[in-house]
Amino acid sequence: MIFDSFDSIIKNKGRIHLSGIGGVSMSALAELLLSMGARVSGSDRDHSPVLEKLSALGAEIHVGHLASLVDGASVIIRTAAIHDDNPEIKRAKELSIPVLERAFAWGLIMQKYETALCISGTHGKTTTTSMASHIAIEAGLDPAVMVGGNLPIIGGGTLRRGSHRLIIAESCGYWNSFFNFYPTIAVILNIEPDHLDFFKDINEIIASFRAFAERTPKEGIIIVNADDQNAMKSVHGIDRQIVTFGLSEKADVYARNVQENNGFFTFDVLIKEEKYATISLNVPGRHNMYNALACAAASYMSKIPGEAVSKGLLSFYGAGRRFERKGTLNGASIIDDYAHHPSEMKATLDAAFSMGFSRVICLFQPHTYTRTKAFLDDFARELSRCDIVYLLDIYAAREKPDGTVSSEMLASKIENAVYCPDFDTAVSLLQETASEGDLILTMGAGSVSEVPELLLKLNSATARH
């Protein structure tokens, strides 16, 4: 059965069931469907504040997956973590209820917008999507936003409803999910080896991004990083308008008069030798210059005034888990970051070391066995830059261990590393070690994000006594 619209379901008061509704993208999708007037139900493995929020908005929420939950539903949307052996999916197929992948459902909705700015890349998608959202809001465009991290300007969530003129969407290439999107402006920030549990090699990854870029219409625009060889290779010869950005004048949109102050950059954006905007970033790191330049290029092509770009980026202090300041412990700053690839780690550590801390103490949780095994030496190289390294067990996510890689193996490659078998051990060591002027950097894409809150509770308990 070909499914092409939610309109008739909403009109006829049908029910849309989301299996795995608690995830970042799925919960945002549920919220958007509710705002469109849809009847929404959903299930997830564990209870969470996200489920409470959706319930308060009117969704019918269930903890746990049961076949009976899909009875009477008009369509099922599932996250990538929900497989064919899930009882809800098995029942849906028995009843011939359409089952859609999450990205496909987003693509259906995306087609309703006049302009779809889709931001892709191996790294920087969430930050760049967030930056672009700040600019569009500053310009008064009332954008819809779908982003992979909590963003304060849209209420601390991952979704802004907006009008049907413009949608700004983070676009992930894992499992080629961005093949379901319909960009009118496609951004490619960078391309590196990653997700090697799905992609065979870098050439297959480049081909995937090329296919994504080709999803733009003939009159569409592709924004690409001129300083990234793989990104440029992905768009070579494509019959679309290509606009490049970078740090040198070989790009169409480039930086000049660059100044750095403790890791924070100010620079002019030039287009065809004319100044378009002056940007002062309140997020650290040279990598964020690239993210800002990508936004500037997309904004220029969307006829957004340079002043809105300057003001929008000046108001951006980061998205959730992207070099996010959490508080202090023993006078040490606590910063939480999502970096889980060696290149992301390098960018985060470059920013950290440029900020004048006495020491950088890193608590890292590797993410997935395949990534850890593929980049073991690269992780070791980057982590060896830190003054002290604490390593949690690998966060399995969708994978199962095969005994060929572990955090202990990674620790053995780093002179100043200590393996921590659990959060309690890590928190205790951080409390003993950290002092005034240090940086505690919690890093990884898994449950390590819970540690800063544990450290802050320790701080509060110490203050009370």
3-state secondary structure of 287: helix
CA distance 221 to 187: 9
Q: What is the pLDDT of residue 184?
A: 98
Stretch 140-148: mean pLDDT, rounded?
Answer: 96
Is it the case that residue 369 has pLDDT exceeding 70? yes
The residue ranges of every structural domain in the chain are 7-102, 113-314, 324-464
- Of 3.90.1150.10, 3.40.1190.10, 3.40.50.2000, 3.20.180.10, which CATH number belongs to 113-314? 3.40.1190.10
Give the residue with greater pLDDT, 149 vs 292. 292
Q: Specify the amino acid at residue 159.
A: L
- DSSP class of residue 389 equals E
Confidence category of residue 458, pLDDT binned at 50, 70, 90? confident
Stretch 130-138: mean pLDDT, rounded?
Answer: 98
Q: What is the pLDDT of residue 460?
A: 66
Neighbours of 316 (CB within 10 A): 25
CA distance 35 to 32: 5
Stretch 236-244: mean pLDDT, rounded?
Answer: 97
CA distance 103 to 213: 16
The tokens for 366 are 């590797």
Given 79, 125, 129, 344, which residue is catalytic? 125
* % of the chain exceeding 70 in pLDDT: 98
Quick: pLDDT tens for 177-217: 999 999 999 999 999 999 999 999 999 999 999 999 999 99
Quick: pLDDT tens for 269-278: 999 899 999 9
Given 170, 324, 344, 382, which residue is catalytic? 170
Residue at token pair 């023993």: 330
CATH topology classification for 7-102 = Rossmann fold (3.40.50)
CA distance 182 to 109: 10
Cβ-count burial 46-61 (b if 16+ within 10 Å, e if not): eeeebbeebeeeebeb
Q: What is the pLDDT of residue 464?
A: 57
Q: What is the pLDDT of residue 24?
A: 87
Same fold, 7-102 and 324-464: no
Is it the case that residue 1 has pLDDT exceeding 60? no
Q: What is the pLDDT of residue 334?
A: 98
Is it the case that residue 86 has pLDDT exceeding 70? yes
Residue at token pair 């909705």: 109
Given 79, 115, 122, 126, which residue is catalytic? 126
Residue 125 bears catalytic tag: yes
Confidence category of residue 462, pLDDT binned at 50, 70, 90? low
* Full strand arrangement of the beta sheet holding 324-329: 324-329, 332-337, 439-443, 360-364, 388-391, 417-419
Q: What is the pLDDT of residue 463?
A: 56
Quick: pLDDT tens for 399-454: 999 899 999 999 999 999 999 999 999 999 999 999 999 999 999 999 999 999 99
* % of the chain exceeding 90 in pLDDT: 94
Task: State the chain's mean pLDDT as an integer.
Answer: 96
Is it the case that residue 368 has pLDDT exceeding 70? yes
Q: What is the pLDDT of residue 5?
A: 87
Q: What is the pLDDT of residue 27?
A: 94
Is it the case that residue 80 has pLDDT exceeding 90? no
Q: What is the pLDDT of residue 293?
A: 98
| Residue 24 · residue 83 · CB < 8 Å | no
Cα angle for residues 100, 187, 293 (degrees, 5° grid): 145
What sign for the dihedral angle of Cα 89, 95, 101, 102? negative
Q: What is the pLDDT of residue 461?
A: 63
Stretch 167-172: mean pLDDT, rounded?
Answer: 97
Residue 126 bears catalytic tag: yes
Domain 324-464: CATH superfamily, name plus number: Mur ligase, C-terminal domain (3.90.190.20)
Residue 170 bears catalytic tag: yes
Cα 20 to Cα 41, 82, 238, 298: the distances in Å are 11, 7, 37, 33
Full-model pTM: 0.92
